[in-house]
Each structure stands twice: as structure tokens, then as C-alpha cells.
Amino acid sequence: MKTRASLAMLALVSVGAPILSTAGDLSPQDFAYAIPITTSTPSPAYRIRIPLDIYRSVAHEDLRDIRVFNARGEAVPYELQDAPPKPLSPSPGSSLPIFPLRADARLKLDGLQISVQSQGAAVNVQADPRSPEPAPITSYVVDARDLALPLSALQLNWPNGAADFSGSLRIESSDDLAVWQLVKTDSPVLNLRADAAQLVQSRVQFPSTKAKFWRLTWVGKPAPFALSSVTADPAVGPPEAERLSLTVPASSLSEKGREFSFDLGARLPVSQVNIELPEPNSVARLQILSRAHSTDSWRQVTEANFFRVQSGGSERHSAPIAIAPNFDRYWLARVKFPASPMGEGTPKLQASWIAQELIFLARGSGPFVLAYGNGSAVAASTELSPFLKGVSVQRAELGTPRSAGGPARLQPGPRVVPWKMLILWSTLGLGMALLGWMAYRLSRELSHAPAPKP
């Protein structure tokens, strides 16, 4: 009886296995569009930057309807993630004007010759032709008014062949040359030589500080040489996420010119917005609203002052405003106060978002293809990061988009009865019922069996 039950269960599972294996299988033709992927270097995994065209052509704003297929038409594992932040590279330092300050020196009277001629009432003062030695330079004032960024270091430069020296500098900052703030008490400066070896410490570092003026004062004995120049090292902030942006002009405006609507043409993960005013030397307080569909009601996103001011040959603009991630396609700028002097013309909306990447495993042979645009697709992104530690993930490039299954794939498929799944679960249910009936028959047979004779 047990053997018959096991055979029956194995038969049921073998019937259901093909149904399970084919459930949810997709091919590139099940998506509206496809882009060939170019991989120049062999690698177990590749990364792709998601371009704007894909956002415009997918059916779901969370990009659930994208897949990567190999040459056999099989979907390979992939993960969607934000592009890693890039560390900021320090910009080349600029040379700053410096002004040396010398120690106080008293005028020597020795050597002065004074002759008075009484008849002409003339006084003749003659000094010794030997000029006195100049006082040593004890400190420098550095002019940093042209710098907009804070500084984290100053690079000191002195002539080649300068005398050996070992000392330190006190660093102070000021914005008015009257009140000075101590930045660092003791920063070592070295210029030493021994045979062919040389030890030079000419870069003084300090906490990131923004100031118009800097004062460098020798602590103790001043250096036997004069600084030829001082170069600024701007402070480098933390790595910033790489962003993509899209700027669109106003698509329509209200009759009174107080509301401007914008269409991004896609549902993007916008996290920063800005308004470019039409005329220089303008300022306006605007209310920014958005909605997902053209028939939805507007909802407020933020409110702020936006400006555009011309100064000489350059312009200053209002900075982008950070907002919570917003996938809405339609946006509206509403003038908060009617008297806001925005100027003639129409503004532009700048929307930016953190760049996204797709990482996929190169299972099977290439060429690989990225397919996207399926109204019925479900999320299939897999977390690959734990498995890619220590693995070199190479950059792959996207080719020219082409049509795959056509735009009709963007529409949700008709609601159909999942017959395969119904058959599978019905078959499994019948199998469980059969096992229960067999167990019941076996227990009845065992209960009615005659007791063994002693």
C-alpha cells in the first residue's frame, strides 16, 4: 500500500513540474522594445547606466518591466540600484596674493651727519651710505577674497636652493582684518637636505574653514627665506551621488500668465527641481505642484524663491531644491504673489534625479539584450551585491533601441484565468486527498486484522 501511494505522489509531482517550470517565462518578444548590449571585456557581471529613453518607454515607473536576455533568449539575474557616488576630485589650487610683514626695526641714528648753515638757515642731513639690514619676515597676510569655497590646506612655495629650516606656523583667519580667529596653533614646515636626500614639508593642513583673509605667523625663529607664493587647496566634501537632469519649457500657461505647466514626458524619480526664469535680474516666489496623470488633481510639492541675477559677464541662479522622490509626469509652477517681477517669456523646469544602474550576471553566451516595456510584468530584480564582493563588474554600453514585441506590449494583458496554476493546485489537492484516503484505508485494514496467534 505504501509503495502504491509513493508512486501515485511521484506521478502527480511529475505532472505538475512542467507547469511550474513554464509559469512566468518571458522572451524578448514579450516586451515592447529592446536594446543590444555591447560588452568589450569578458566579465562575470556587467553594469549599465539607465538612459532617459528607457524611462520614457516603460510601462511602470519603478522599472519592473525590464529584463536582460542572453543569446539563447533566457532571462539572466539582474539588480537595479542607484549609481555609486563619485568622490569629488580637488580642483587645481589657485595662487593667492601674499603680503609679508616684517618685525619692528628702530631707525639707527648712528652714522647720521647733520650740518647747519646759519646764513641760509639750511639743514643738511646725510645718512651713512651703508643701508641697514631689513628686518626678518615674521608673518604673511594671504588674500583669499576671490575664493568661494572653504579651504583645508595652503601650499607654501619658496625658491629653489633655499636655506635649511625646521619650524612651524600659526594659522589664523579673518573676514575684516581686525578680528582674527585661531585655526591651528602649530603646523610644521621643513626644508632639510642631507647629501642627496631631501625632506620638505610645505603643505599646511587645517580644518575646513572659509575666510577672506589668512595670517601665517612663524612660531619662534622665522624662516631664513621668503615665501615666493601661496596656493590654496579647496576643501573636498563627501562624495556626491551622480545625477541626471532634464530641462523642459512650459507647455502652457494660464490666461493671466500666473500658472505655467510642464510635461516631463516620462515618470522619472525626480528628487531635485529648479525653475529657470525667462529674463535676467528677475525674482519670483513660486509654488511647485505635480500630478501623475493629466486628469488628477494638483498637489503641492514645495514653495520657494527663484532668482536669476546678472553680474558682469556671468549670471547667478537659484540652486536646485531637494524634494522627496516624486514620479509624477506633470508639473505646475504657480506665481505666489501677483507682483512678482518674473519678466516676459516663459520659464523652464529643471528636474534631476539620481542616476540608476542595472547590474546583470553574464550567464550563458552573448550577445545580451536589454528588453523593456511590458504592462503585465512583475518585479524580478534580485539582490546581487552580496554575491559580487571582490568581483570586477565591467561597464557595458547600450546600442540603438529597436522594436521587439511592439507598443501593444505596454498595455496590461487581458485578465485570463490561470488555468495552468489551477490545474497544478487541483492536481496537488487531489493527490493529498488520495494520500489521506489511502492512509484511512490502511488504518482500517490494520484495525480489523486478526490478532496474531500465540
* Residue 343 confidence class, pLDDT cut points 50, 70, 90: low
Q: What is the dihedral of CA 126, 128, 131, 136, to 10 degrees?
A: -100
Distance CA 341, CA 333 (A): 15
User: Taking Cα atoms as reference points, which of 198, 151, 201 lies closest to residue 173?
Assistant: 151
DSSP state of 75: B
- What integer pLDDT is reported at residue 4 of this predicted model? 45
Out of 15-29, 84-98, 208-222, 344-358, pick the least confident: 15-29
Distance CA 288, CA 260 (A): 10
Residue 96's contacts (CB-CB under 8 Å, 6 or more residues apart) are 142, 143, 144, 147, 229, 230, 231, 232
- What integer pLDDT is reported at residue 67 of this predicted model? 94
Q: Where in the chain is the domain with CATH 2.60.120.260?
A: 95-234, 243-354
- What integer pLDDT is reported at residue 125 of this predicted model? 46
* Higher pLDDT, residue 310 or 290: 290
Rounded percentage of the chain residues whose pLDDT exceeds 70: 78
Q: Flag whether pLDDT at 442 surpasses 80.
A: no
Residue 46's contacts (CB-CB under 8 Å, 6 or more residues apart) are 37, 39, 359, 360, 362, 368, 393, 394, 395, 396
- What integer pLDDT is reported at residue 114 of this predicted model? 44
Q: How many CA atoms lie within 13 A of 204 on its CB side?
A: 25
Distance CA 329, CA 262 (A): 8
Q: Which CATH number fits domain 95-234: 2.60.40.2380, 2.40.50.100, 2.60.120.260, 2.40.10.10?
A: 2.60.120.260
Fold of 243-354: Jelly Rolls (2.60.120)
Whether the pTM exceeds 0.85: the reply is: no
Query: pLDDT tens digit string along 400-412?
Result: 999 988 888 888 7
Cell of 418: 490561470
Q: Flag whether pLDDT at 318 surpasses 70.
A: yes
The one-letter code for the residue type at 205 is Q
* Residue 427 confidence class, pLDDT cut points 50, 70, 90: confident
- What integer pLDDT is reported at residue 104 of this predicted model? 58
* Average pLDDT across the chain, whole number: 81
Residue 8: exposure state from Cβ atoms within 10 A (0-12, 13-18, ≥19): middle
H helices present in 303-449, as ranges: 419-448
Q: Flag whether pLDDT at 146 surpasses 50.
A: yes
Instruction: Answer left, alpha or beta for residue 183, where phi above 0 means left and psi between -120 and 50 means alpha.
Output: alpha
Q: How many CA atoms lie within 13 A of 162 on its CB side?
A: 19
- What integer pLDDT is reported at residue 338 of this predicted model? 66
231 in Cβ contact with 93 (< 8 Å): yes
Out of 194-198, 363-367, 374-378, pick the least confident: 194-198
Cell of 51: 538612459
Query: pLDDT tens digit string along 239-276?
Result: 677 889 999 999 877 766 688 999 999 999 999 999 99
- What integer pLDDT is reported at residue 412 of this predicted model? 77
- What are the residues facing 370 on neighbouring strands? 35, 68
Out of 233-237, 328-332, 448-452, pick the least confident: 448-452
